Chains A and B, each alone.
Chain A
Amino acid sequence: MRSKKPILLIEDDLIDVMTVNRVFDELNIKNDIIHKQNGEEAIKYLQSNNHESPCIILLDLNMPVMNGIEFLEEAKNDDELKKIPVIVLTTSNDERDVAESYELGAAGYMIKTAEYRDFVSTIKEIESYWTLSELPD
Chain B
Amino acid sequence: MSQDRSDISDDNQFKGEVAKEKLIAAEGHISAVRLILVIINILVYLLFVTPENATPWLAYPMMTFSLVYSLYYVFYRPYLRYPSLLNSYFTTLTDGAFIVGWIVATGISESPFYLLWCLSIVAVSQRYSFSETMLISVIFAATDLTLINIDIDAPVPRAELAVRVLYIPITGLLGAYFSSEISGQIRDKLKTQESETKARKAEKQARGLLDDLNEQIAEKIKAEKELLKMQKTLEDKVRERTVDLEEVNKELKKEITAKEKIENEQQKTLEKLEEINKELESFAYVTSHDLKAPLRGISTLSDWLYNDYADKLGDDAKEKLGLIKKRTQRMNELIEGILEYSKAGKTKENPRKIDTLQLINEVLGLLNPPEHIAIKVNENLPFVFANQTQMLQIFENLISNSIKYMDKEKGKIEIGFNEENDGGYFYVKDNGVGIPIKNQEKIFDMFQTLASQKSTESTGIGLAVARKLVNGMGGKIWVESKPKEGSTFMFKLPKTILGHHKHIRNT
Contacts and interface: CB of A to CB of B under 8 A. Distances in A.
A116 B289 contact: no
A115 B332 CA distance: 11
A13 interface: yes
Contacts, number: 35
Interface size class of B (residues with CB under 8 A): 10 to 19
B289 A114 contact: no
A15 B289 contact: no
B299 interface: yes
Interface string B278-308: 0000000100010011011101110110000
Determine which residue in A15, A91, A112, A113 has the highest number of CB atoms from chain B within 10 A of its CB, and name it. Answer: A15
A114 B299 contact: yes
A19 B296 CA distance: 11
B328 interface: yes
A102 B32 CA distance: 160
Interface residues of A, number: 16
A16 B304 CA distance: 13
A64 B16 CA distance: 147
Nearest to B298: A15
Contacts of B300: 15, 18-19, 114, 116
Contact of B297 (A13, A92, A94): A13
Given A62-B289, A114-B328, A91 B304 contact: no
Contact of B293 (A13, A19, A94, A115): A13
B156 to A, nearest CB: 163
Contact of A91 (B292, B299, B303): B292
Nearest to A62: B289
A13 B298 CA distance: 12
A114 B296 contact: yes
A124 to B, nearest CB: 17
Nearest to B329: A114
Interface of B: 285, 289, 292-293, 295-297, 299-301, 303-304, 328-329, 332
23 contacts: A15-B296, A15-B297, A15-B301, A16-B296, A16-B297, A18-B300, A22-B304, A62-B289, A62-B293, A91-B292, A91-B293, A91-B296, A94-B285, A113-B296, A114-B292, A114-B295, A114-B299, A114-B328, A114-B329, A115-B299, A116-B299, A116-B300, A116-B304
Given A15-B297, A114-B296, A116-B300, 7 more contacts: A15-B296, A15-B300, A15-B301, A91-B292, A114-B292, A115-B299, A116-B303
